[in-house]
Structure 1
Amino acid sequence: MKNAQISLRSLLSSLFAMVLLAVLFQACSKDDGPVTPPVDKTRLKARLDSATATYTAAQEGVQVGQYEVGSRAVFKTAIDAATTVNTNAGATQSEVNNAYVNLGQAQTTFASKQVQEIAPANLVLFLKMDGNANDASGKGLNGTLKPGATGVGSWTGWGGTSTNLPVATKDRYGNDNRAYSFDKGANIEVPYNSVLNPSKELTIAAWVRPTKVNESNYIVSLNRWNGYKFQLQSVNKVFMTVKTAPDKIFDRDNESPTLDLNKWYHAAVTYKSGEMVFYINGTPVKTWTDVTGDPFAVKSTINLTIGQDLPTGLYQFNEKNDADGNNFHGPWGGFFTGDIDEVRMYNVVLGGTQIRSIYNAEKP
C-alpha cells in the first residue's frame, strides 16, 4: 500500500511538471514572436570591393581607356553611400539590398564614361583645315579649294564661276590659318570614293562658326537630298537629310538649341536605320527614332562638298539642269557662311562617350 501511494505521488508530480512546461513553452512562444534572421551584407561588400578597385585604378582624361573628367567624383559619391550602409550595424536588409542595386547602377554609368577606341578603319574622312584641305584619315581623300557660282542680277541669270575661294582664318583657339572661312559658294571639293557613301551607318562631326543665318547653310553634302547633307537651317538649328530609298527622304533637326552667330560649336550627327542623334558640344540634344532604312545615294559618284550643296561645276543655271534637275543655289542659301574646321566622317555610329571625347579633346 505504501509503495502504491509513492508511485501515485510520483506520477502526479511528473504530470504536473509536464503541464507546467507546456504552459511555459506556449507563453514564451506568444511573447517572443518570429525570430529575425541576421542581415546579410555579403553581396554588398563584394560589389563595394569591386567598385572601389575600379575607382582607384581609373584615370580621367580624353585618351582611350580614361574616363570623362568629373566622372570619378560622381562614382565616389555612390561608393561612399554604399559604404555608409555597409558599416551601419543597424542597417536593415532592405537598406542593404537598395544600396547594392544603387551601387550597381553607378558602376554601369561610370563604365559608360570610359573613352572607347574608334578603329582607324572607321574614320573615312578627316579634314583638319590647317592651311590646306588634305585628308588626315589615311584614306588619301584630299580636297581642293573651289570657288562658288557667281550671280548676275536675279539668281535665274547666274552663270559662270567667281574667284571667291575658301579663305584661311583663325580657328577656335585663335590660331591663324587653322580653319577656313566660307561664303557665296566657296567650297572644298572631295573626290568621290565609295567610303564616303557608307551602306549602313554614318557619323559626321565638325567645328562650325556661322556668321549669317541662311535657309540652307550647307556644311557637308553628298549630292544633297539625293544622298545626305549636314547643314544649318533657317533658324540656325543643325539639320540632317538622309535618303534611304528612291521615294523616302528623312529631314530632321536638333530642335533645340539654336546656334548663336559668331560663336564656335562642335556639331555632330549619327545615323542608322531607326535612329538619328544630334550632338552639340558633346551633349546629345535630340534623338529621332522615326527614321528607317540604310543610306541610299542616287548618282553617288558626285563629289562630296564642304561648304556648299553641290560641286560648283555641276551648276548649269541657264539650262536649269544641274545634278538633279533642281536649281537650288541662290542668294538665300545652298552654301555655308562662316567658318568650318576639323571635319570628320565615320562609317559607324559613334557612341555618346566617343563624341564627347572628341569634343573634350578639342574644345578651346
Structure 2
Amino acid sequence: MKNKSISLQTLLKTVLAMLLLLSVFEACKKADDPVVVTPVDKTKLKARIDSANAIYTSAVEGVQVGNYEVGSKATFKNYIDAANIIYGNAAATQTDATNAYVNLGVGMTNFAGKRVQEIAAANLILYLKMDGNANDASGKGFNGALKAGAQPISATVTSGSVTQAVSWTGWGGSATNVPALTKDRYGVDGKAYTFDKGSNIEIPYNSVLNPAKEFTIALWARPTKINESSYMVSLNRWNGYKFQLQSANKPFLTVKTAPGKYIDKDNESPTLDVNKWYHLTVTYKSGAMTFYVNGTPVKTWTDVSGDPYAVKSNINLVIGQDLPSNLYQLNEKDDADGNNFNGPWGGYFTGDMDEIRMYNVVLSDTQVKSIYNAEKP
C-alpha cells in the first residue's frame, strides 16, 4: 500500500508539471502571434473637409445678399483646421475621425446660418428714411405727416351717458412744435428728425401695420433725455404694440395678445447712454421676443405667447409719441374697442431718430446684423 501511495503522488506531480509547461507554451505562442489592427476609415472625413474648403474659398464676407457675416469665415476656418488635425494624425482612432466628421458638420451648418438672406420686399411694410421728409420708402405708400405734440385742452366730452368737463395742460410744446430735420448718425444735415415735447410723425392706420403673427421693428435712435415712457413707435400704445425706452433708458416692447393680456419686456442690458446713436431692433412672435443693440442680440424672452392683437379702431401709427395728439381730448376708459385714453397716460421721445423699418416677419440674427453693418457710421 505504501508503494502505491508514492506512485500516485508522483503521478500527480507529473501531471501538474505538464499542465504548467503547457500553459507556458500557450502564453508564449499568443505573445508571438501578430496583432491584427483595423485601419481607421477617414474617407467620409476627407470628403467633408474638401466640401468645407470649397465653401470657405468661395465665400465672401459683407452685407449684401449672398455674403457671409463679417468675421464668420475665421470661425468656420477653426472647424476646418480641427478636422485637418485629426485627418493628418496617424494615431487618431476611428472615434476621433467620427467626432471630427460630426464637429465639422456643425461648423458647416453654423456658417450657412451666417449667409445674408434676402428679405422679400413684401415683408417690408414701413420704411421711413427721413431724408428730408417723412415719406414711406417701402413702396406701400404709408407716408407720414409731421405733427405737434398734444396741446392744452379744455372741453366737454361725453362717454356713454356721462358728460363731463376735461382739461389738460399738454406736454408744454406749441402748435408749431413739429419734428425738425437734424443731422443723422454720419453728421449729415437734414437726414434725420429730432423730437421733443410730443412732436411726432403720424401715419394713417392700415391693417398692414398691425401684423397678425409676427413682426420686426428696427430703427436708429439717439436719445438726448431719459423719460419715463419714451415712445418711439406706437400703434394704440398698450392696446396694440409700442416700442419705447423706459425709465432706465432700456429698449422696451409691449404687445397686446388678447383682451386684458399684455406682454411687457425690456432688453435687461445694456442701459443706453444719452447723446449717442444706437441701432435698436426688436422681433416678436408667439414664443420669442428678441432685442438687439447695434446688430447684436442682447436678450431673448421665451416666456411669451400669443399672436399680436388686431387693433379694432382705426387709430393712426405714431412715431415719437404714444397716441395721435387729437385723441387726448377723449376721456373714455375701456371703451367698446378696448381703448383706454383718459388723458396723457403715455409719453414721448426726446432725441433723434432715423431709418425706421417695420417687417411683418421676424428677421434672423444675420439679417439684423447685415442691416446694422450696412448702415453703421
Structure 1 segment 41-190 matched on structure 2, within 5 A: 41-151=42-152, 157-158=168-169, 162-190=175-203
Aligned counterparts of 1:313 and 1:360: Cα–Cα separation in 2: 39
Q: Does the aligned pair in 2 maintain the 1:133–1:142 contact within 8 Å? A: yes
Q: Does the aligned pair in 2 maintain the 1:227–1:300 contact within 8 Å? A: no
Task: Determine if the alignment matches structure 1 residue 193 to structure 2 residue 194.
Answer: no
**Cross-structure match for 2:331:** 320
Q: Does the aligned pair in 1 maintain the 2:168–2:343 contact within 8 Å? A: no
Number of aligned residue pairs: 340
Aligned counterparts of 2:33 and 2:135: Cα–Cα separation in 1: 83
Secondary structure in 1 matching 2:243 = strand
**RMSD of aligned alpha carbons:** 2.4
**CA drift at 1:84:** 2.1
Aligned counterparts of 1:282 and 1:41: Cα–Cα separation in 2: 40
TM-score, normalised relative to structure 2: 0.85
**CA drift at 1:27:** 3.8
Aligned counterparts of 1:166 and 1:283: Cα–Cα separation in 2: 29
**Cross-structure match for 2:320:** 307
The one of 212, 218, 230 equivalent to 1:205 is 218
Aligned counterparts of 1:343 and 1:105: Cα–Cα separation in 2: 35
Aligned counterparts of 1:33 and 1:341: Cα–Cα separation in 2: 77
Aligned counterparts of 1:213 and 1:151: Cα–Cα separation in 2: 23
Aligned counterparts of 2:271 and 2:104: Cα–Cα separation in 1: 37
Q: Does the aligned pair in 1 maintain the 2:252–2:264 contact within 8 Å? A: yes
**CA drift at 1:152:** 8.5
C-alpha offsets along residues 62-101 of structure 1, whole Å, 9 cap, x if unaligned? 0011001111122112212211221222322232222222
Q: Does the aligned pair in 2 maintain the 1:226–1:297 contact within 8 Å? A: no
Change (3 A) 1:75 1:67: same
Matched AA of 1:277: T
Secondary structure in 2 matching 1:115 = coil
Change (3 A) 1:303 1:25: same
Aligned counterparts of 2:107 and 2:148: Cα–Cα separation in 1: 53
The one of 266, 274, 296 equivalent to 2:309 is 296
The worse-fitting range, judged by mean Cα deviation, of 295-304 and 255-264 is: 295-304
**CA drift at 1:30:** 4.6
Aligned counterparts of 2:89 and 2:64: Cα–Cα separation in 1: 39
**CA drift at 1:327:** 3.6
Change (3 A) 1:124 1:289: same
Matched AA of 2:223: P
Secondary structure in 2 matching 1:334 = coil
Secondary structure in 2 matching 1:142 = coil
Aligned counterparts of 1:196 and 1:312: Cα–Cα separation in 2: 19
